[in-house]
């Protein structure tokens, strides 16, 4: 096994990492600090940062990003909320940071994503209407 391969030692408590994941799932809409998560569960920040990826395949930071981006997509698809309110809703302090993270994740801006999603929905509705007319 190489030094970079994720590893859970024999004494590692996987339950602690599951608890951290559950905390993130419940609190991603607020600022989350790794030392606070570790303290709340009763493990060291170092143990959290090394053990979490071994269990879930993502760093704590990457998992938080993933959860926030999924919520941003849900809000872009299901609401007409301004993008500025969406970045606040998922605990991004700045629109610039949110835009950069969204673009790195999906290769489009949040506005482009919303426009592409709604254009695709319109195409699907037109297809459904064409099928109903042809029947």
Whole-number pLDDT of residue 122: 82
Model confidence, pTM: 0.81
Question: In sequence order, what are the residues at sequence separation of 6 or more whose Cβ sits closer than 8 angstroms to the Cβ of residue 2?
Answer: none
What are the 10-residue block averages of pLDDT along the chain, 135 residues in total?
47 83 95 94 93 95 97 96 93 93 97 93 75 54
Whole-number pLDDT of residue 90: 95
Residue carrying the six token digits 């090394």: 50
Distance of CA 112 to the CA centre of its chain: 18
* Residue 106 near residue 69 (C-beta atoms within 8 A): yes
In this structure, the chain runs to a length of: 135
CB neighbourhood size of 13 (10 A): 14
Q: Which domains does the chain have, with CATH numbers?
A: 12-57 (1.10.10), 64-135 (1.10.10.60)
Give the span between the Cα atoms of 19 and 26, in whole angstroms: 11
């Amino acid at each position: 096994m190489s030094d970079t391969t994720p590893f859970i030692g024999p004494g590692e408590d996987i339950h602690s990492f599951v608890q951290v994941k559950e905390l993130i799932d419940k609190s991603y809409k607020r600022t989350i600090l790794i030392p606070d998560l570790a303290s709340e569960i009763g493990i060291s920040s170092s143990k959290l940062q090394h053990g979490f990826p071994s269990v879930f395949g993502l760093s704590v930071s990457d998992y938080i990003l993933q959860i926030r981006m999924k919520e941003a997509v849900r809000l872009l698809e299901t609401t007409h909320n301004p993008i500025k309110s969406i970045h606040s809703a998922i605990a991004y302090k700045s629109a610039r940071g949110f835009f950069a993270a969204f673009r790195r994740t999906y290769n489009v801006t949040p506005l482009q994503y919303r426009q592409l999603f709604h254009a695709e929905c319109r195409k699907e509705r037109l297809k459904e209407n064409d099928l109903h007319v042809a029947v």
